[in-house]
Chain A
């Protein structure tokens, strides 16, 4: 009995990321097709006159699609590797957000608070 449980365990560890299923991949694929097609359609046809709304929408679609890929393709969940992949992922997501949002925030304020300067002023002196 012990042997019976030992063998599949030692062998089955290759599937540490949960049992892969065709269904899971297909659901992820169909979702990501929709989540890719809609933003491209929004931008290429310009149906929504307002660029600001379109921008917010396509960023939202990107965030959702990243989550879909993470769950369906990368199999990050609370079980895989005892939850450590999820921990590393969450930590990285926080650092990525700080790096990107922080840089944009700082450089935006740096630019708007600079004294007005023309190209000639920079090149001339």
Chain B
């Protein structure tokens, strides 16, 4: 009884400071919003690269046009890989929510492999283009193309590195709140890159081949 009264007193004290906000102030509470705003600034970088590509996309300077060099089947496979990696990451987050460490690790590893496949195919595409003489130095169109697509690819590469680090963290320390927070940030990063890729395959590849 006495203990109960003491607890009650403490609780009232706490509620005196903690007026109406019971769940917005624990550690890392604003991390998600901060990371989201970083992603939005990243979106602005991509916006300038898309705008540059849009302006320069018909400046061939005697070099090849998109129709001559883009291979849509390859791009379709790449798009598929990134799309599937989105849902495997989603399943990793659900496994994390259920406190299932093994499941989280498996889905994350699968996501990482799909990401590596994506970057691998992109590098293959770039080397093919360069072998055909379609280098970034050939025309303004190709400079803008390589800048935009490689910036996205570089983001995916860093996402894969981050994913690898998280797998190590998970195997060492498990699903503690800090790791959960990091995985939520990486989740946003990964899905955000998928959204940028929608712009790339539509505006660069599909519209390029149509032209």
Contact = CB atoms under 8 A, between A and B. Distances in A.
Interface string B62-79: 100000000011001001
A14 B181 contact: yes
Contact of B51 (A5, A40, A104): A104
Interface in B154-211: 177, 180-181, 184, 188, 191-192, 194-195, 198-199, 201-203, 206-207, 209-211
Interface residues of A, number: 57
Contacts, number: 141
A58 B202 contact: yes
Given A20-B97, A103-B55, A92 B202 contact: no
Given A17-B184, A39-B206, A81-B33, A26 B51 contact: no
B90 interface: yes
Contacts of A117: none
Tell me if A's interface is mostly helix, strand, loop or mixed.
helix
A96 B195 contact: no
A83 to B, nearest CB: 10
A112 interface: no
Interface of B: 11, 22-24, 26, 28-29, 32-33, 36-37, 40, 43-44, 47-48, 50-52, 54-55, 62, 72-73, 76, 79-80, 83, 86-87, 90-91, 93-94, 97, 177, 180-181, 184, 188, 191-192, 194-195, 198-199, 201-203, 206-207, 209-211
Interface of A: 2, 5-6, 9-17, 19-22, 25-26, 28-29, 32-33, 36, 39-40, 43-44, 51, 54-55, 58-59, 61-62, 65-66, 69-70, 73-74, 81-82, 84-85, 88-89, 91-92, 95-96, 99-100, 102-104, 107, 119
| For the complex of A and B, 10 pairs with smallest distance between CB atoms | A25-B90, A103-B51, A62-B202, A73-B191, A9-B23, A96-B47, A92-B40, A29-B87, A107-B55, A99-B47
